[in-house]
Structure 1
């Protein structure tokens, strides 16, 4: 215990004072603030407390121990005793209230914990049975109906039961231990039925209500109303009826009696036998003429309802307000309505019948309920924001609010936070420095503090964490710093092992902080040359999530995701009206064709340039779609922009691929997402750098992302509800697993090849990491063959085709030597030179070089060929061109060439066309302008090689895809320009 030597009185530090009382340091500071501790001194910025304050504070703060602990119980122990004795009370709050009210006299507080004397339990029991038990007929819960059970028993709604309770027709009981629940005594059932007018003999299958009776009479051309039926009951003309729940019901056998009665009346349209045939025909003729007279520009209610796709009864309710030109015309048995065609056309321009809500809706508007579902906000918040003017354009129709979809989307986007201010390492270090300055160390901890600051700075500067994770690290570092200041009073490398172990056993220290502390302790010991007897290692098992068991989607579900994103026609309609929908469409498609981490997708995917396509606004998609050429041009953009994208977690370059089946889906979804983003920037202050998949972000100061989507995103799966169980990690694992097994099947169970290729797509540093993500399945076929094209990564050309052929031959063991020879001949024929006059020698030389490479591959042992294939698939055989592989890397056969387009050992990838076409244009300009034959001959050779490369790409991918790189018309123009300059 430290003392202040310059004073006669003895003082101790706040940590020492807290330890003496057995309280937390923060509690001691709170006592000082409240004035419970008065004798304190501030010496050199540190607070010291007189030792006499220990006893005084015990008295003031009720910190003295309970004298006779055995005679007292905690409130929870009292609750357990009362509960065991049959009292139905709700937790300890009821007991605490009785202490506060003064009912309990003998109680004590120690360290803010309440203790009650055992003798007071009798007081609580007496009070309970006096005030509560007398009102409850039975304590047994099985003697009661819940409201759900009573609703089923009586066949009425819970809302109706609440109404009966309000009208005092039903007695309900409440138990203290069942918060918010009401119960109904089973023995009161007959009394309840009597009070509400329930008739046991009533059967809905045998009885008709008044409205049902009217409907039955209309089928017999008898048109009456509710008042007519009630009048008959009042006049006792219909004696056989029952009153059930205060409503009239008639037995179905009584229907004939009603028909006879109204037939005798004669003025309800029921055909009688007294009417002659001639009279009947004349009457029908007049009715027909009258009916056809005004119908040129009108439709019957039934015809109008069919046109509007709405029920007739719903339409009749709107005639007065929405169809002002409607007419009532005479008809057999009464009259009917005719609806003006003009009114119908005007109605369809503004309104429609919503089959889901069965209500009137405004076109291009959300009703408040729909907006609530999309936004996740309450009705009260939405109404308040309408009142504040944040949600504009609201229209009130029939007491229902409608908001224009465009305004609603603007409102939703205005509440989204984007990465306008990035929380980076610079800001993180500023926060740390600010905290250090506000919490200076004691004189005997200065060196440790200095080491800690330096160590943390190294950690932060080497971190690639996203803002949200980075902020979490900072809070951990700050928390540990404060804990060390409170617990250590000397440099940390001088602290004994016993104190280190005591600190690590502290329950208030989280597992993560213990792990960081052990790392820092090791750093300090190394810096000071300390060799402890004990080496500290701290490891803890993290809590397993619901997806910890390597869950993947079944092949059926995975394939449904794969086909769902390809339904372009369906998705365009929804995506153009909702940015969340468009973003989820793009995001899911990316996950199906790439193994990128979700957080990297939403951060790294770039904006789309729209200059090369026709789409310039969302409404364009109402009648148009992108062509394959336009779609490929979008993918080309992504390839160029994502060429240097880095996997944030492991700092490895990502590989961006797009499966051929998903090119159009991804292009449409990203273009629509880009247009949404631009629309938002036009009416909000979002920065130009805001991200294309911005709807996944949330948070204001520190922005994070929900990589498995928000509730609004999951609307993308509404057409297929079984897909709503969407999880980014499960999708990653599924894509890797099905890619792995599709490669395994293609390459004869060569698991090394499969694992290497899968590792490469995920940008893992080693295959062991990749293997963790892959869900193992039995070889007997328990995982279905993936029919989606996961392995097509864009390599093409005669050399690539021949390597695949050789690998395939090894798998097809049943193939004969003759069949194998025929296959090779067929391949050679496909690459044989076409005898063109001017290119004959050039093509013959190319053909000779290709044959030499084919012979080399043909005689290569299959195991060596597999090893070579692994390296090619995993980009371990780089060429001078970034978008291609070299078969003989690192032993380049054409070192004198600047490019690889003319080399027979070059295996191009699809995106090589971008650079190749740029090179083609450069060579064209060179041929036109050079004066030297040597340069013309050299460039002619290179140009014709690029032309052959383009032709091979057309064979591999089709004209539309190659057109997106170089329109064939432009290629023809280039050849026309240079043909006179070619020198071979």
Structure 2
């Protein structure tokens, strides 16, 4: 332990009682050292509070008040679902207030009258956080003991302005700055802290995670899978490699618990942010490995503190862009959740609809913020015309697009070439029998689509608006993750465990991971099965799943789909079961 650390513990924090300094050396009693060792062994917030509380000398005249405060603190800590470091902060705040009560109370708190309560709360020693905690404790006392004061005391909160978000121009300026790989690459490689803040700010344009979750919940980055294990190999990171890395991180984070709410979080990265995010994360991981650090995003060299400091972190990152110094995490998250756009919608004719649905989304308490993004769709460069339309939440498929097309009364005609892209997954040389079987399958699917299309076409504009709003909010969940159901909650396949065969499914991009697993399972089942009925069933099912792959390939591009599904491997596996299909006369 250094002289500086000893001085700080003795003088500032008073951890070593009885310590004396002689000839530039500190002499500390053995008893104080043993006491400090006990502090280091403390692991939980409850232990922190109990240890410090037991050091108090409590007079008999305040014993019941402090006993109630002890019970109140442990009750509050046990109810907290925040991460342990935050719970310890709460424990230390309660210790501070307990010490204040010992200093300021001349009798039991519940024996105070209203004048004495007011005098206590207006004491100049108290800051707002202390006052708020004492008021909450007063409320607790009213529930457990008869109190002499008559008034009911409450914590007055400053009314928050929920509309406080960055303007479109501000948001767009932030957005362009953080996604500029050329601008940040060299600086991030040279300075670890810079790379950490780059990741930190990028995450505010991807998923609306809380600040502490960004800094503590991201896993180590598996950079080996894309062959970028050094700074020299990181330049010009391709979109395919970037998406592959993002997909792997997604699977690692899928079960992440958000600290404040206790719900599961996700890591979904919109297309235009894939390369910047992957680049920043790779750099951060290489820095971590070079330092042999257990933390990916470390803000301070000798501390695990997750408080982002404006002077130390924000201003150096934005550098000469003084117009961006006002970056704030919560405000940026609110802005992200407010500004939506839908990639199919372009131009001003649908702006009113976009705003209305955007407002609906923002008012929804359980908004799935992990799939919300923002982009500028203006073509003339005018910031005033940044389109605040609906967010592209990663849905794809004919059903989803038909709902949107019907809603916006699209009159666009697709060329034959555009239509044929929807069956790219089946492009290969077919025998006449194969073509007949495929035609039969496509005809069956067409009938299903025409039936649904007719039903959607009969919906009024208002009904379509409500339907789209529910889809965007995630209020129509399918049985599988990353998909929604057009007819939720009235499932037509009650016993099915998968939705991939259902004509009512509205898939999202990350469903491709499940599709990949399902195709492999079906191929293995066909290959291993001894029963014709099982082969026929799984073969027909596989055609439906491959139809989803075809739609995804047509809409999202083959290179993008390949980051989720190894199409070449799937093709080889399909060819390997051709003999099995031939044997039963299916093709």
TM-score interval, normalised by the smaller of the two chains: 0.7 to 0.9
Task: Tell me which protein shows more helix as a share of its residues.
Answer: 2
Q: Which runs of 5+ in 2 are unaligned?
A: 1-17, 19-38, 375-381, 427-433
- Cα 1:787–1:765 change in 2 (3 A) is closer
Mapped to 1, the partners of 2:459 and 2:209 lie a distance apart of 35
Alignment pair present for 1:757 and 2:374: no
- Give the counterpart of 2:399 among 789, 794, 799: 799
Q: Which residue of 1 aligns with 2:504?
A: 905
Which residues in structure 2 correspond to 1:133-144 (within 5 Å)? none
Mapped to 2, the partners of 1:836 and 1:530 lie a distance apart of 86
- Give the counterpart of 2:332 among 722, 725, 731: 731
Mapped to 2, the partners of 1:841 and 1:709 lie a distance apart of 67
| Deviation, structure 1 residue 823 | 8.0
Alignment pair present for 1:477 and 2:90: no
- Give the counterpart of 1:552 among 155, 166, 178: 166
Q: Which residue of 2 aligns with 1:944?
A: 543
Which residues in structure 2 correspond to 1:534-549 (within 5 Å)? 534-539=151-156, 541=158
Q: Deviations over 1:894-923 (max 9, x none)?
A: 113221111000011111111111111111
- Cα 1:831–1:574 change in 2 (3 A) is closer
Mapped to 1, the partners of 2:175 and 2:233 lie a distance apart of 26
Mapped to 1, the partners of 2:529 and 2:105 lie a distance apart of 80
Alignment pair present for 1:864 and 2:463: yes
Alignment pair present for 1:523 and 2:523: no
Q: Which runs of 5+ in 1 are unaligned?
A: 1-32, 34-421, 775-781, 813-818
Q: Deviations over 1:164-201 (max 9, x none)?
A: xxxxxxxxxxxxxxxxxxxxxxxxxxxxxxxxxxxxxx
Q: Deviations over 1:570-594 (max 9, x none)?
A: 5433333332333333333222233
| Deviation, structure 1 residue 832 | 9.6
Alignment pair present for 1:878 and 2:477: yes
- Give the counterpart of 1:607 among 212, 220, 230: 220
CA RMSD of aligned residues (A): 3.9
| Deviation, structure 1 residue 759 | 6.0
Q: Which residue of 2 aligns with 1:59?
A: none
Q: Which residue of 2 aligns with 1:921?
A: 520
| Deviation, structure 1 residue 788 | 9.2
SS at match of 2:484: strand
State whether residues 467 and 703 of structure 1, in contact with CA within 8 Å, keep that contact through their aligned partners in structure 2: no
Mapped to 1, the partners of 2:418 and 2:465 lie a distance apart of 20
Q: Which residue of 1 aligns with 2:561?
A: 962
| Deviation, structure 1 residue 733 | 4.1
| Deviation, structure 1 residue 960 | 1.0
TM-score, normalised with respect to structure 1? 0.48
Mapped to 1, the partners of 2:92 and 2:482 lie a distance apart of 43
Mapped to 1, the partners of 2:417 and 2:575 lie a distance apart of 33
Q: Deviations over 1:404-440 (max 9, x none)?
A: xxxxxxxxxxxxxxxxxx9999532222212221114
Mapped to 2, the partners of 1:789 and 1:971 lie a distance apart of 37
- Cα 1:697–1:889 change in 2 (3 A) is farther
- Give the counterpart of 1:703 among 289, 305, 316: 305
- Give the counterpart of 2:352 among 742, 748, 771: 748
Alignment pair present for 1:441 and 2:87: no
TM-score, normalised with respect to structure 2? 0.78
State whether residues 800 and 907 of structure 1, in contact with CA within 8 Å, keep that contact through their aligned partners in structure 2: yes
- Cα 1:720–1:498 change in 2 (3 A) is closer
Mapped to 1, the partners of 2:180 and 2:389 lie a distance apart of 17
| Deviation, structure 1 residue 797 | 0.4
SS at match of 1:864: helix
Which residues in structure 2 correspond to 1:306-345 (within 5 Å)? none
Task: Tell me which protein shows more strand as a share of its residues.
Answer: 1
Alignment pair present for 1:501 and 2:118: yes
Q: Deviations over 1:14-62 (max 9, x none)?
A: xxxxxxxxxxxxxxxxxxx9xxxxxxxxxxxxxxxxxxxxxxxxxxxxx
State whether residues 341 and 387 of structure 2, in contact with CA within 8 Å, keep that contact through their aligned partners in structure 1: no
Q: Deviations over 1:545-583 (max 9, x none)?
A: xx999362551x543443344443454333333323333
